[in-house]
Amino acid sequence: MDKIPILRMGDFLLVTIQVDMHDRLAMALQDDLTRTISQTEAHGVLIDISTLEIVDSFIGRMLSNIAAMSRVLDAETVVVGMQPAVAITLVELGLSLPGVRTALNVDAGMELLRSSVNAHKELYGSRLH
């Protein structure tokens, strides 16, 4: 079975979805990601979907679920690189992914994560690792 790799970059986790998402794969990713977040104590998750061309309501809901789960585990989620066709489909399906932060590309997404984590640290003081 395919497996979506989860890469660790400093404080953040990087997930690049480069294959067609099917439901089993999505569930596996959800499991893997939550486990990795709690193991690594990551503060941010960046999901790159720039090569994802087909999306359905299940995948849309999974994205917002992952964001919600990460937040519970104290990690911010940013979805980057969504294609116009995918965005239109999600809107037409009535999925506006309210809790998910978005950015145009990985660069912008990283910047967003960094600034939000920094703001978080300023508020609550930096934690020891």
Partner 1 sequence: MSEMRLNRNGAKFVEILGKREDQILAEWMKEMTGATRRGDLIKDSDLRAECTQFLKLLTQATAAAGTDFQSPAFDAMREMLNDVSRSRAQKGFKPSETATFVFSLKRPLFNQIQADQKGDAETMVAEIWSLTELLDAMGLYTMEVFQKSREEMIRRQQEELLELSTPVVKLWDGILALPIIGTLDSARTQVVMESLLQAIVQSNSRVAIIDITGVPTVDTIVAQHLLKTVTAARLMGADCIISGVRPQIAQTIVHLGINLLDVTTKSTLAAAFSVALQRLGITFVRETAKS
Q: Give the residue with the Cβ less far from partner 1, 90 or 117.
A: 90
* Rounded distance between C-alpha atoms, residue 3 and residue 75, angstroms: 22
Q: Give the residue with the Cβ less far from partner 1, 14 or 79.
A: 79
Question: Token pair for residue 56?
Answer: 């359905």
Binding mask 66-105 for partner 1 (x = CB under 8 A): -------------xxxxxx-xxx-xxx---xx----xxxx
* Rounded distance between C-alpha atoms, residue 38 and residue 15, angstroms: 15
Q: Give the residue with the Cβ less far from partner 1, 40 or 116.
A: 116
Residue at token pair 């079975």? 1
Question: Token pair for residue 39?
Answer: 């193991």
Q: Does 115 bind partner 1 (CB under 8 A)?
A: no
What phi and psi, each to the nearest 5 degrees, are found at residue 103?
A: -150, 160
Question: Token pair for residue 72?
Answer: 């519970």
| Residue 101 beta carbon to partner 1: minimum distance, rounded to whole angstroms | 8
Q: Which residues form the interface with partner 1 (CB under 8 A)?
A: 79-84, 86-88, 90-92, 96-97, 102-105, 108-109
